[in-house]
Amino acid sequence: MDLSEIVKQLSPSLTLKISAKAKTMKSNGIPVIDFSVGEPDFPTPEHVKEAGIQAIRDNFTGYTQNDGIPDLKDAIIQRLIQDDALSFSPDEILISAGAKMSLYLAMAAALNPGDEVIIPAPYWVSYPEQVRLTGAVPVIVHTEESSEFILLPEQLEAALTSKTRAIIINNPSNPSGAAYETDQLRAILEIAHRNKLLIIADEIYSQITYEGYRFVRSLNIMPETRAHTVLIDGASKAYSMTGWRIGYAAGPATLIGGMKRIQGHTTSNPVSISQKAAVAAFRGDQRHLVVRVREFQERRDFLLASLAQIPGVSVCVPKGAFYLFPNVSKLFGRSAAGHTMKTAMDICDYLLETAHVALVPGEGFGAPNNIRLSFATSMENLREGMTRIQKALTDLV
């Protein structure tokens, strides 16, 4: 069976490859510590679970409005007013099966084959593949560790061509935890505005940011971009609801209308029960977030202190999300236990096989000198995992 030319270009997810290997090792009785996961380790809050259970009891189990139930749209609209003073009408909101689907729909609705989409690297693994799925062309712009993985205006200017149609800005970032200060993002948005680029603002980690950094939505930094910005966010990360699959897009009614048409012919509505649970999440008490973010910050600080003790490893301090993205390139060329470190992938293989710790190599994020370490796991796991990593990396000669 021959696959389509577009699908042939898609690369399998490195994240999934590592986690599959880690799972197989675990099922063979090897005590693997998993630092590769991209989801909060906290459970979905009780009141949210209850709302989902109640939805089942109430037989709220049929099709719903294709673009999401009015009550959930309203809960999201109210959240955006309350948290960000941004006002949207219901026809400017689309709810989908996860932020991932919202992102894809935005691209599928706006891009034509051959259009170029600027993606700053390190990037979230799915962006280039989603762009390719539409027939458009991902244009990767490498950011520097010395600029804390922030895209600089001159880098963006240099990447623009007559075919540039859109830019994806992930703030805060998966995998680096980098987050833009207001002035830094304004400089990028001004260029995007001047060139009428579609701004895909993936702000899924907007609620997970650390002391000393104040997140501001791109639409608040430059409201003039409203006619060509699509804001992406959702319930997955903030409310520990990854499996419920609820994400949303907020943007111009024409674009949202196009996305809605595609959704109507593909998945139809997001899961009815999940939508009811998400109403409880967006409308309910938000204080659990403060407690969870504080815990993430303690873990981040512990990891930063541990990594500082490993010679040859450097790391930027993440301002948001729950990942560290250390540079391990100084270890390239070293060996131990029959493994030679030529790439970040080799280091991850070595750590998995000898120290039984799963991490994701930077190759999948367009940053081959780095590895991604998720701290969405318990402090106990982090302590044990870091002891193992420290030993394995210092064994390299």
| 204 three-state secondary structure | coil
How far apart (Å, rounded) are the C-alpha atoms in residues 57 and 272?
12
Please identify, using beta-carbon distances, which residue of 348 and 376 lies nearer to ligand PLP: 376
Q: How many CB atoms lie within 10 A of CB 315?
A: 20
Residue with token string 């389509």: 4
Q: Closest approach of Cβ 105 to ligand PLP, in Å?
A: 12
Please identify, using beta-carbon distances, which residue of 236 and 269 lies nearer to ligand PLP: 236
Q: Residues 63, 272: contact at Cβ < 8 Å? A: yes
| Candidate residues 40, 122, 128, 234; the one interacting with ligand PLP per rule CB under 6 A | 234
Q: Closest approach of Cβ 322 to ligand PLP, in Å?
A: 10
Burial class (CB in 10 A: 0-12, 13-18, 19+), 240: buried
Residue nearest to ligand PLP (CB): 98
Q: Residues 381, 358: contact at Cβ < 8 Å? A: no
Q: Closest approach of Cβ 97 to ligand PLP, in Å?
A: 8
| Candidate residues 92, 189, 202, 313; the one interacting with ligand PLP per rule CB under 6 A | 202
Q: Closest approach of Cβ 69 to ligand PLP, in Å?
A: 18
Report the candidate in 151, 186, 187 with the shortest Cα–Cα distance to residue 170: 151
Please identify, using beta-carbon distances, which residue of 130 and 184 lies nearer to ligand PLP: 130
Strands of 116-121's sheet in order across: 93-96, 247-250, 229-234, 198-202, 164-170, 116-121, 137-142
Q: Closest approach of Cβ 113 to ligand PLP, in Å?
A: 24
Q: Closest approach of Cβ 234 to ligand PLP, in Å?
A: 4
How far apart (Å, rounded) are the C-alpha atoms in residues 31 and 53?
34
Please identify, using beta-carbon distances, which residue of 266 and 340 lies nearer to ligand PLP: 266
- Chain-centroid distance of CA 157 in Å reads 25
The region of 22-30, 98-106, 154-162, 279-287 touching ligand PLP under the rule CB under 6 A is 98-106
Angle at the Cα of 342 (from 337 to 347), degrees rounded to 5? 55
Q: Residues 49, 277: contact at Cβ < 8 Å? A: yes
| 86 three-state secondary structure | coil
Q: Going residue by residue from 138 to 177, which x/- string records binding to ligand PLP, judged by CB under 6 A?
A: --------------------------------x---x---
* Site for ligand PLP contains 307 (CB under 6 A): no
* Site for ligand PLP contains 236 (CB under 6 A): yes
Pairing mode, strands 247-250 and 229-234: antiparallel
Q: Using CB under 6 A, which residues numbered 30 to 69 contact ligand PLP? A: 38
The region of 68-76, 97-105, 108-116, 259-267 touching ligand PLP under the rule CB under 6 A is 97-105
- Give the number of residues in contact with ligand PLP, rule: CB under 6 A: 13
Q: Where are the beta strands (DSSP E) in 19-126?
A: 33-34, 93-96, 116-121
- Chain-centroid distance of CA 152 in Å reads 20
Please identify, using beta-carbon distances, which residue of 138 and 247 lies nearer to ligand PLP: 247
Please identify, using beta-carbon distances, which residue of 145 and 203 lies nearer to ligand PLP: 203
Q: Closest approach of Cβ 237 to ligand PLP, in Å?
A: 7
Q: Closest approach of Cβ 99 to ligand PLP, in Å?
A: 4
* Site for ligand PLP contains 319 (CB under 6 A): no
Q: Residues 133, 6: contact at Cβ < 8 Å? A: yes
Q: Residues 207, 40: contact at Cβ < 8 Å? A: no
Please identify, using beta-carbon distances, which residue of 38 and 326 lies nearer to ligand PLP: 38
The region of 2-10, 53-61, 94-102, 303-311 touching ligand PLP under the rule CB under 6 A is 94-102
- Chain-centroid distance of CA 397 in Å reads 35
Identity of the residue numbered 381: N
* Site for ligand PLP contains 124 (CB under 6 A): yes
List residues near ligand PLP by CB under 6 A: 38, 98-100, 124, 170, 174, 202, 204, 234, 236, 242, 247
